[in-house]
């Protein structure tokens, strides 16, 4: 019985040690998985509202916001000021978030401008690379609108 307890304690210590070594890469993959879940939500929201949504990011976190609607007005109405406004979303899933990965996050999006979601049913291909300086993970959007996290 004592031998089994010692083996159990040793196994737990090894398991905790392995988890600590891979935690930075794990957090980066979690950020990528979250984006792969949020991007289709943003696309659906843009289709539903008819208003483009842009994904904005920096080294600390990211957020989604509406872009102003592009409306064409008669000249006599246009003089009363802007029609559309950029603004925050009322969708709780698309709320501003901080990166899980520690340190400064570097983000690279291909092609440039792919951070905008609109009413298109078949969105263009997109790759978002997340890097913490040591590990890089990519989120890829395929032609059918599905997303894949690539280590």
Q: State how far the Cα of 50 lies from the Cα of 67, in Å rounded to an integer.
A: 10
Q: What's the pTM?
A: 0.73
Q: Quote the distance between the C-alpha of residue 124 and its chain's center.
A: 16
Q: Specify the range with the lowest mean pLDDT, choosing from 10-19, 64-73, 97-106, 134-143.
A: 10-19
Q: Is the dihedral of CA 89, 94, 100, 103 positive or negative?
A: negative
Q: State how far the Cα of 6 lies from the Cα of 12, in Å rounded to an integer.
A: 10
**Each residue's pLDDT tens digit, 30-88:** 999 999 999 999 999 999 888 899 999 999 999 999 887 665 556 555 445 444 444 56
Q: What is the pLDDT of residue 113?
A: 86
Q: Is 113 left (phi over 0), alpha (psi -120 to 50) or beta?
A: left
Q: What is the pLDDT of residue 125?
A: 92
Question: Are 85 and 68 spatial neighbours (Cβ–Cβ below 8 Å)?
Answer: yes
């Amino acid at each position: 019985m004592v031998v089994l307890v010692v083996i159990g304690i040793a196994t737990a210590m090894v398991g905790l040690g392995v988890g600590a070594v891979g935690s930075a890469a794990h957090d980066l993959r979690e950020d990528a998985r979250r984006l792969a879940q949020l991007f289709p939500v943003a696309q659906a929201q843009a289709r539903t509202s008819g208003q483009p949504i842009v994904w904005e990011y920096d080294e600390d976190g990211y957020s989604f916001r509406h872009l102003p609607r592009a409306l064409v007005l008669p000249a006599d109405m246009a003089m009363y000021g802007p029609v559309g406004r950029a603004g925050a979303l009322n969708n709780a899933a698309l709320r501003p978030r901080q990166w899980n990965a520690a340190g400064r996050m570097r983000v690279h999006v291909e092609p440039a401008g792919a951070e905008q979601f609109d009413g298109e049913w078949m969105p263009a291909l997109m790759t978002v690379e997340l890097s913490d300086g040591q590990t890089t993970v990519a989120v890829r959007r395929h032609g059918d609108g599905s997303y894949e996290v690539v280590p």
